[in-house]
Amino acid sequence: MKAPLPPQPRPLPDLRELDVIVIGGSAGSFQVLTQLMPSLPTAVPVVVVVHLPADRDTPLAEVLGESTGRPTLEAMDKAPLTPGVIHFAPPGYHLLLESEKTFALSVDPPVHFSRPSIDVLFESAAEAFGERVLGVVLTGANEDGAQGLRAIRGAGGFCIVQRPDTAEAPFMPKAAIQAATPDRILSIGEMEAFFQQLAADPAQGTGAGGTHA
């Protein structure tokens, strides 16, 4: 009797069938986003949560936009998701996505000591858009994002996690891998190649390098 074949990794998602790409990171993620942002597809809205102190007036969207040449905005309540724009959660607010493709801001209690919380964004994206979500968890020092990525996976969305051995703070990607069984576990260079391939051929049927879950 032949041994069963190992499960095949899911192919790249069809870019034309995605409503949003959501990204979460914490410690060390500024440098990662600076490298990753130029490769992100322009055909799909991108929404990012980075843990920042609420009392710190840091124009993260502006700084990253200037350094990467990509259009960036700090998300506002009821503002629309816009393709080609990378939207950032404002410090001190949870950021949620609504099925009407608009944002909602919340001052509910912090999740994993964080507001904005990656889990809150990811779970709202999974509820609003189901399998039409691509979620990415980057470097970070707590487990925020793990359950949110699990929600995206459970809704049929596509999940990517930074390889922990390439992360400045590996705890967050390790927690996400354990909770969500992601479709790809990639270094930042491999993520760049993944998104470049996705944008070059939206209906591509094979994945870019890296470790497959």
The tens digit of pLDDT for each residue in 16-39 reads 999 999 999 998 999 999 999 999
CATH for 140: 3.40.50.180
Whether residue 26 lies in the annotated active site: yes
Judge whether 194 lies within some domain.
Answer: yes
Judge whether 10 lies within some domain.
Answer: no
Judge whether 212 lies within some domain.
Answer: no
CB contact burial 21-44 (16+ within 10 A = b; e otherwise): bbbbbbbbbbebbeebbebbbeeb
Per the structure, the complete domain to which residue 147 belongs is given by 15-199
155-179 confidence digits (pLDDT tens):
999 999 999 999 999 999 999 999 9
Residues 142, 171: contact at Cβ < 8 Å? Answer: yes
Instruction: Enumerate residues 6+ apart whose C-beta is below 8 A from 40.
Output: 21, 46, 70, 86, 195
pLDDT at res. 211? 58
Judge whether 94 lies within some domain.
Answer: yes
Instruction: Enumerate residues 6+ apart whose C-beta is below 8 A from 1.
Output: none
Indicate the pairing of strand 184-186 with strand 158-162.
parallel
19, 51, 87, 124: which is the annotated catalytic residue? Answer: 51
pLDDT at res. 55? 61
Judge whether 4 lies within some domain.
Answer: no
pLDDT at res. 182? 96
Q: What is the CA radius of gyration of the chain?
A: 16
94-150 confidence digits (pLDDT tens):
999 999 999 999 999 999 899 999 999 999 999 999 999 999 999 999 999 999 999
∠ CA 41-44-171, rounded to 5°? 70
Question: How far, in Å, CA of 107 to CA of 155, rounded?
Answer: 26
Judge whether 87 lies within some domain.
Answer: yes
Check whether 59 has a pLDDT greater than 90. no
pLDDT at res. 78? 96
Judge whether 23 lies within some domain.
Answer: yes
Judge whether 76 lies within some domain.
Answer: yes
Indicate the pairing of strand 46-50 with strand 20-25.
parallel
The pLDDT of 60-87, averaged and rounded, is: 93
pLDDT at res. 205? 45
Name the residue with higher pLDDT: 59 or 31.
31
pLDDT at res. 60? 83
Name the residue with higher pLDDT: 202 or 124.
124
Give the chain's domain count: 1
Question: How far, in Å, CA of 66 to CA of 186, rounded?
Answer: 26
19, 26, 112, 124: which is the annotated catalytic residue? Answer: 26
Question: How far, in Å, CA of 161 to CA of 174, rounded?
Answer: 9
Give me the chain's average pLDDT, please.
Answer: 90
19, 119, 144, 183: which is the annotated catalytic residue? Answer: 144
Helix 146-154 to helix 118-129 angle (10° resolution) is 10
